[in-house]
Structure 1
Amino acid sequence: MAKKLLDPGFLAGKQSKSFKEVLSGSDESKGFPDYRISSIRGMPALWFSEDEFLHLAKPFEFALVGKFPLKRPALDSIRRFFFNLKLSGDFFVTLLDQANVLIKLSNDLDYGRVLLIVPTLFMVVS
C-alpha cells in the first residue's frame, strides 16, 4: 500500500488493463478519471464530486446495521430470522465486527418492513 502512495501514477488512475478488457478489446475505464488532488493539514486528500459519492453509496441504498451491544447471536440465526420474514426481494447479511451486522436489502418495501418489525436493533446507514 505504501508503494502505491509513493507512485505518482497511482493517484492519476494509471493502471494496467484487466484480463477481461484485454480479451474484449475494450479501452473503457469504469472509474472516475478526474480526481482533484489536494492536501488537508499536510495530509494527501482526494476530492470527489456529488455524482461520485452517489455512485459509491448506491449499493447501500437499502442497507441497515444491526447493533448487538451485549452478545451477538450466531450469524446463521440472524440470516434465518430474515429468511423467516418472507421478504419480497433478496437480502445479504454479513458481519462488520463483533457487535455489528450489515444487512443489505434489495428494495424499499423490505427496508420499511424490517424497520417496522425490529426498530430498536437497527441504525440507518444510508
Structure 2
Amino acid sequence: MASKTDFLRVSSPSRSFLQALSGSSSSNGFPKLKVSSFRGMPSLWISDEEILDLAVPFQFALVGFFPSKLPSLDSIRNFFFNLKLNGDVSISLLDSSHILIKLENDLDYCHIFCHRSYLVFN
C-alpha cells in the first residue's frame, strides 16, 4: 500500500502563485510558465512537451466511481491493499463520488482496468 504522503510529491518548500508565475527556477520539475494574454484576459502558455511532462505522474492512473455512498478512504485503501498488486497504489479523493487511483506499473494498471468494476465493502 502506498505511503500516506501526498500523491504529488513536492520536494521543495511551497511557493506563492506570484513566484510560480515569475518563472523563478524550481527544483520540483514544474515548468517555467510564460505569462501572456488572450483576448484581453491573462493566460499561461504551456508547450505540448511541458503538458506531457506534467502528465507523467498520471500515466498509470484511473478514476474510480461510486454510484451510491462512497466508503471511507481507509476502507478503499485496504481493499486495494488486499488485491496484492505488484507495485504501490495511491488513493486520493476527487469529489463525493470519485477517487483517483494512481498505480506504479502497467501490469497493475491493466489488472485493475480489465476487471472494469469491483465491489468495495458492499
> TM-score under structure 2 normalisation?
0.70
Aligned partner of 1:81 in structure 2 is: 79
RMSD: 2.6
Tell me the matched-pair count.
103
Q: Deviations over 1:96-121 (max 9, x none)?
A: 1111111100000000000122x147
1:1-126 correspondence to structure 2 within 5 Å: 11-14=21-24, 30-33=29-32, 35-117=33-115, 119-120=116-117
Distance 1:29 1:120, change over 3 A: closer
- Aligned-residue offset at 1:13: 1.6
Larger Cα-atom Rg: 1
Q: Are the counterparts in 1 of residues 30 and 54 from structure 2 also a CA contact under 8 Å?
A: no
SS of residue matched to 1:94: strand
- Aligned-residue offset at 1:31: 4.2
5+ residue gaps, structure 1: 18-27, 122-126
> TM-score under structure 1 normalisation?
0.68
- Aligned-residue offset at 1:42: 2.4
- Aligned-residue offset at 1:58: 0.7
Q: Are the counterparts in 1 of residues 21 and 34 from structure 2 also a CA contact under 8 Å?
A: no
Q: Deviations over 1:63-93 (max 9, x none)?
A: 1111113211121221121111110001011
5+ residue gaps, structure 2: 1-15
* Structure 1 counterpart of 2:31, one-letter code: F
* Structure 2 counterpart of 1:45, one-letter code: S
* Structure 2 counterpart of 1:38, one-letter code: S
Take 1:65 and 1:76, find their aligned partners in 2: how far apart are those partners? 17
